[in-house]
Amino acid sequence: PTFSTSCARCSKNRRLRQKRVLSERKLTRYFVDHRKVRVVGGQGGGGGHSFYSEPRKIFGGPDGGNGGDGGHVILKADRQMKSLSSVLPFYQGFHGEKGGSKNCYGANGAYMYVKVGTLVKEDGKVVADLTQHGEEYVAAYGGAGGKGNRFFLSNENRAPTLFTPGEPGQERVLHLELKTTAHAGLVGFPNAGKSSLLRAISNAKPAVAAYPFTTLNPHVGIVRYQDYEQVAVADIPGLIKGAHKNKGLGMAFLRHIERCRFLLYVVDLSVSQPWIQLQDLKYELEQYKKGLSERPCVVIGNKIDLAQSRINLPLLKEQIDDRVIALSALTGDNLEELLLHLRELYDTYVKTEQSLGQSPVKW
């Protein structure tokens, strides 16, 4: 009986763990970095049409108030938005209310806020780039409210019956394009250990396993320092040769590297001639966007815990001019050197932005 109870308990715990753990493929179903959205501003309320009347004052004159303006549709940058899956294909602002009697104006329509963190394009042209948290962009203006008959009162016309309807709101079709915002980007070929490294240095929990597989959507982790400074590091899905030609995951995720201020190239030290990986990675970045491979960087030689990696390390340093930090994301060896150098890259970026009069991105 004891044996069967123990087996039942183990089986139950296994099922619970399986429910809690989402596979990378299942997570990817909810990752959307492109969205076509139709936005329409709210319609303005119609103007009121009435005449003031009370006992012993029958001809009180026109008192129809103006209608309220329609509400705007506003895109608002939200740092927590990691996917556009929650963005709907259509948004409309709230309508303004009709003008009332006794010169009462109709209420304006409420604004419709859509949380994004994205590039906004219209007809292929960039119309907004929402990168700062809380930044807003009016995607569609609401229509103006109509005029009540009181508005048309004049010496020549003491009893106007004219009033106007509210104007329709602005209508646009926009293309939203998500680009991961992070200070540093982990760039490397599949199975170089980027996800394991991100888990080791930050609070992010990308999927890792004891067998080879490729991360299918970007993850952003926050590295926190003792002085409360925070550095965002993005795990960009693994590239392959020809990614700039849209092979493999291709350009679907190359654009996420554009936002990164500095790059962390992760190479597998255990493979033959690891410096070839670095050359291929820089080539793919340069082919996608000229100058992208020239951003401040450091080369991370991962899997130093393996014997072959220790043999390849001095050979790698001889072949390249960039700084090389050898570590093991699995055992945690030499992570401290990476964290210190990451902070140096971040501080240099902040000083550069401040010298240019710009505000550095904070997390």
Task: Quickly state the pLDDT bin for 12 (edges 50, 70, 90).
Answer: low
Q: Which residue has the higher pLDDT, 30 or 144?
A: 144
Q: What is the pairing mode between strands 125-129 and 34-40? A: unpaired
Task: Write out the two tokens for 354.
Answer: 């401040």
Contact by Cβ (8 Å): 120, 68? no
Residues 59, 173, single domain; the answer is: yes
Helices (H), 241-306: 251-257, 275-288
Residues 152, 244, single domain; the answer is: no
Residues 263, 155, single domain; the answer is: no
Contact by Cβ (8 Å): 184, 231? yes
Q: In the chain, how many domains are there?
A: 2
Identify whether 25 is part of a domain.
Answer: no
Residues 190, 315, single domain; the answer is: yes
Domain limits for position 95: 31-179
**Surface-to-core class of residue 120, CB atoms within 10 Å of its CB (0-12 exposed, 13-18 middle, 19+ buried):** buried
Task: Quickly state the pLDDT bin for 310 (edges 50, 70, 90).
Answer: very high
Residue 245 is classified by DSSP as G
Residue 90 is classified by DSSP as E
Pick from 7, 13, 25: nearest CA to 209: 25
Q: What is the pairing mode between strands 118-122 and 90-92? A: unpaired
Please tell me which of 2-16, 156-170, 246-260 the model is most confident about, judged by mean pLDDT: 156-170
Identify whether 328 is part of a domain.
Answer: yes
Residues 285, 327, single domain; the answer is: yes
Q: Edge-to-edge, what's the strand order for the sheet holding 171-178?
A: 90-92, 34-40, 171-178, 118-122, 125-129
Section 326-350 average pLDDT = 91
Section 332-340 average pLDDT = 91
Q: What is the pairing mode between strands 90-92 and 184-187? A: unpaired
Cβ neighbours of 344 (radius 10 Å) = 12
Pick from 114, 113, 117, 131: nearest CA to 80: 117
Residues 135, 228, single domain; the answer is: no
Looking up tokens 């030290």, which residue turns up? Answer: 269
Task: Count how many residues are written for the chain.
Answer: 363
Residues 350, 312, single domain; the answer is: yes
For the chain, give the percent of residues with pLDDT over 90: 37
Q: Which residue has the higher pLDDT, 120 or 357?
A: 120
Section 333-355 average pLDDT = 90
Q: Which residue has the higher pLDDT, 215 or 280?
A: 280
pLDDT, tens only, 76-132: 988 777 677 788 999 999 999 999 988 899 999 999 999 887 789 999 898 988 877
pLDDT, tens only, 62-73: 989 999 999 999
For the chain, give the percent of residues with pLDDT over 70: 79
Task: Write out the two tokens for 127.
Answer: 């119309």
What does pLDDT average to over the chain?
Answer: 81
E-strand ranges in the chain read 34-40, 73-77, 90-92, 112-116, 118-122, 125-129, 136-140, 171-178, 184-187, 219-224, 230-235, 262-268, 297-302, 324-326
Identify whether 1 is part of a domain.
Answer: no
Task: Write out the two tokens for 271.
Answer: 């493979």
Pick from 139, 119, 136, 138: nearest CA to 128: 119
Residues 161, 216, single domain; the answer is: no
CATH of the domain at 225: 3.40.50.300
What's the CA gap between 199 and 73, in Å, rounded?
38
Residues 124, 215, single domain; the answer is: no
What's the CA gap between 277 and 293, in Å, rounded?
13
Identify whether 10 is part of a domain.
Answer: no
Sign of CA dihedral 279, 284, 290, 293: negative
pLDDT exceeds cutoff 60 at 43? yes
Residues 332, 190, single domain; the answer is: yes
Residue 218 is classified by DSSP as -
pLDDT, tens only, 228-262: 888 888 887 756 555 445 444 445 567 778 778 89
What's the CA gap between 363 and 359, in Å, rounded?
12
Q: Edge-to-edge, what's the strand order for the sheet holding 73-77?
A: 112-116, 73-77, 136-140
Task: Write out the two tokens for 9.
Answer: 């308990």
Identify whether 18 is part of a domain.
Answer: no
Q: Which of 179, 201, 221 is the last residue of a domain?
A: 179
Section 31-39 average pLDDT = 81
Task: Quickly state the pLDDT bin for 16 (edges 50, 70, 90).
Answer: low
CATH of the domain at 104: 2.70.210.12
Q: Which of 179, 205, 240 is the last residue of a domain?
A: 179
Identify whether 335 is part of a domain.
Answer: yes
Residues 204, 338, single domain; the answer is: yes
Identify whether 26 is part of a domain.
Answer: no
Identify whether 99 is part of a domain.
Answer: yes
Q: What is the pLDDT of residue 102?
A: 87
Q: Which of 179, 198, 214 is the last residue of a domain?
A: 179
Q: What is the pLDDT of residue 82?
A: 67
Residues 200, 335, single domain; the answer is: yes
Task: Quickly state the pLDDT bin for 213 (edges 50, 70, 90).
Answer: very low
